[in-house]
Structure 1
Amino acid sequence: MFDVADFLDPGDGVWWGQGSAEPEPLVNQVLDAVDRVGPIRAFSGLTWNERLSGDLPEKLTVVSYGGLGQLRSLSRYGRLDVVPCHYSAIPRMFATGQLPNDVGLIQVSAPGPDGLVTLGTGVEYVADAILHTRTLVAEINHRMPATVGGPRLPLSAFAAVIETDRPLREAPAKAGDTVDRAIASNVASIVDDGSTIQIGVGSLPSAVLEALAGHSDLGFHSGMITDGVLTLVEKGVITGARKEIDPGVVVTGAALCTSDGYRRLGEHPVEFRAASYTHAPAVLSRLGSLVSINSAIEVDLLGQVGAELARGVHIGAVGGQVDFSRAASLTGSRSIIALRSTVGSGEQSQSTIVPALAGGVVTTARVDVDAVVTEHGVAMLTGCTVAERALRLIEVAAPEHREHLERSLAEQENR
């Protein structure tokens, strides 16, 4: 058994795959080695590794594009350095050394008959980062499915490997409620047959996918795939027949599924591509049927979207939201922001439609949003004046908060 510390020098930068493809045994080795080697600067994406939520070695600096999964705890304690960026910019930042790129830790599938491994369920930024990384170390997980579309690598590409046989991290099991289903129904009502869908993960996106079950000939091009997408493929809803590029193919960068979903991946025309393809403006501009469906923390009366900060803590990211929203609005079909009209309950209830963004940061500009959807309806914003946009947004806010929003609007207009 090797020690990752053997490949680290003081001041090195380390990155690793995210989500279901995070090589947690190797990451944990780095955490154990930092005090001996440090200082180390590490780049992590979405993680559920509990060790990245608590006390970290003082010599370790964690960098990310947002506060996803356990990283929001690091943000809360001031231990997370966020690089705000479009997801499409990450490949270039690895290429230029703006993100740590001395040592890369990746989880791969077992070698195939040709002796090559795949990047499994985490192609995305990994496929771009490996091109600019000095040393690669791999976890060969015998439960990682071999996937199609991404790089295939010989074992000689790695300075060292470990072999494991452990289950992949699964999507958190949180079923959608009546509010999620109401929002999903409203979203589905403005998605045309033949659209190419981009959508995220979580209870609301899952509900939206279920609500699209009555549609036909949908396509899929997104940063991540879930069980809900596979189900629509199996039902004949997602066919990709009308996609302008990659017809008949489900294009994704990563997968976040249940164990059954990971097993089913190989049964369908799913291709995993690098972030430099899935999120590239030049690629997305060719999808005239693109409908982006993204979530938010809050939306102000101008239609500006906040999806990163809550009470000063990073709980989200710019991620691919702007990449897809801008493409869908400019050269695609429609850009949709879907969110619950309130957070909290009872007297603690707060409106997510707000006079001004409480987080103070605009994630997605108002000009890149065609529709804002809550459980109370659809606010179509394209072509509306500033005043008309505000009125339409108030109409889909929670009824108990509309009077306050109307007063705030009147005060803004009288200034």
Structure 2
Amino acid sequence: MIDVGAFLHPGDGVWWGQGSAEPEPLVNAVLDVVDRVGPIRAFSGLTWNERLSGDLPEQLTVVSYGGLGRLRALSRHGRLDVVPCHYSAIPRMFATGALPNDVGFVQVSPPDRDGYVTLGTGVEYVADAIPHTRTLIAEINAQMPPTVGGPRLPLSAFAAVVETDRPLREAPGRPADHVDVAIAGHVASIIDDGATIQIGVGSLPSAVLEALAGHRDLGFHSGMLSDTVLTLVEKGVITGAKKEIDAGVVVTGAALCSAGGYARLGALPVEFRAASYTHAPPVLSQLGSLVSINSAIEVDLLGQVGAELARGVHIGATGGQVDFSRAASLTGTRSIIALRSTVGSGETSESTIVPALRSGVVTTARVDVDAVVTEHGVAMLTGCTVAERALRLIEVAAPEHREALQRSLAEQEM
């Protein structure tokens, strides 16, 4: 392992890739030397690196756009500084220095015959940060698949490299249960053939995608993709034939798959693009067929969405939710928020449809939500008055919580 401390100066700001493209050996090397080097401010996105959930060196400050993966543990212990922002704003913040940009750590594919590497499964904000970064250091992972759509970089772009041969991080999570399947069925029922889908990764998003297996000529344009997307491409469900731009191409910024999924990427029409493309309003406004499907922690009776905080802890992010929800509701087809009607179980069960957001933080405004879906049905909100919206939301709340919500509604006099 190289001495990354030789490339760091006290007060530097560093960043690294996220998810399956996180260069974990280099990140761990930073953690090993930061107390020797001096104060370092580091930007991290989604991470499953166990060392970023425990005790951090005192000289390290971690900054992120949310509390994703292991970062929620840092938030719980007061060691995470969150910069609230739309995902589409991240490229500009790197360009202006609002986010750390002195040293960047990337995981890349092995060099091709011409000596160029790709950013593999993590193009997204990395591609936008690179032009504004003083020093780049790369992990060349023999198991990182080369991808198309993003930049190809010569080895001369890096001040130093380390070579590894390790599996990429795979998507964690549980299998979809009957609640996920019920929600997914309702979501699929309000999506037409030919729609261009934006959706995340996880148990519920995978269930929604599986429920779309009977649809035709779907398109895909999103910040991240999973195995289920690849399966629908192989089955001829996702063809991109009706997409207004990038016809026939699956567009994403990153991938979080199984080992088998990563191996299949090269044989499919998948292009990895920078966040300045995948989330850009001028790009999204061209997708008239766009349907955004996002999750939430809670939704209030006004239709406002909270997707960031739970009991004061950052467990989510604004991320691309607003970028896609607004585009889908204004210039696309439909903006959908899908969530389970309760959190917890038994006597400790709490409704996720609430009189007012417990967190006090509105992630997505009520005007950018067309439909809220739970296992109990679909609350179509577009065109409804404030009072009508509240009544429809109560109808999809858990039955045991509806009476309390109705009492609250009467007290609020909506």
Q: Which residue of 2 aligns with 1:344?
A: 344
C-alpha deviation, 1:215, in angstroms: 0.2
Q: Which residue of 2 aligns with 1:230?
A: 230
Q: Which residue of 2 aligns with 1:93?
A: 93
Deviations 1:297-318 (A, max 9, x none): 0000000000000000000000
Aligned partner letter, 1:110: P
C-alpha deviation, 1:208, in angstroms: 0.2
Aligned partner letter, 2:292: S
SS of residue paired to 1:110: coil
Q: Partners in 1 of 2:401 and 2:298 — Cα distance? A: 14
Count of residue correspondences: 414
Q: Which residue of 2 aligns with 1:382?
A: 382
Q: Partners in 2 of 1:225 and 1:38 — Cα distance? A: 38
Deviations 1:291-343 (A, max 9, x none): 00000000000000000000000000000000000000000000000000000
Deviations 1:251-296 (A, max 9, x none): 0000000000000001100000000000000000000000000000
Alignment of 1:2-401 (within 5 A): 2-401=2-401
C-alpha deviation, 1:173, in angstroms: 3.9
Q: Partners in 2 of 1:164 and 1:335 — Cα distance? A: 42
SS of residue paired to 1:271: strand
Deviations 1:10-67 (A, max 9, x none): 0000000000000000000000111100100000000000000000011100000000
Q: Partners in 2 of 1:356 and 1:236 — Cα distance? A: 43
Two-structure CA RMSD over aligned residues (Å): 0.6
Aligned partner letter, 2:194: G
Aligned partner letter, 1:236: G
Q: Partners in 1 of 2:391 and 2:113 — Cα distance? A: 61
C-alpha deviation, 1:174, in angstroms: 1.2
Q: Partners in 2 of 1:411 and 1:206 — Cα distance? A: 39
SS of residue paired to 1:139: strand
SS of residue paired to 2:146: coil
Deviations 1:123-179 (A, max 9, x none): 000000001000000000000000000000000000000000000000014100000
Q: Partners in 2 of 1:318 and 1:174 — Cα distance? A: 23
Aligned partner letter, 2:30: V
Gaps of 5+ in 2: none
SS of residue paired to 1:161: strand
Q: Partners in 2 of 1:312 and 1:397 — Cα distance? A: 23
Q: Partners in 2 of 1:207 and 1:361 — Cα distance? A: 28
C-alpha deviation, 1:113, in angstroms: 1.1
SS of residue paired to 1:213: coil
Q: Partners in 2 of 1:347 and 1:291 — Cα distance? A: 36
Q: Return the TM-score normalized by structure 1.
A: 0.99
Q: Partners in 1 of 2:71 and 2:345 — Cα distance? A: 26
Q: Return the TM-score normalized by structure 2.
A: 1.00
Deviations 1:223-242 (A, max 9, x none): 00100000000110000000
SS of residue paired to 2:229: helix
SS of residue paired to 1:163: strand
C-alpha deviation, 1:2, in angstroms: 2.1
Aligned partner letter, 1:123: V
Identity, % of aligned pairs?
86
Q: Aligned pair in 2 of structure 1 residues 300, 173: CA closer, same or farther (>3 Å)?
A: closer
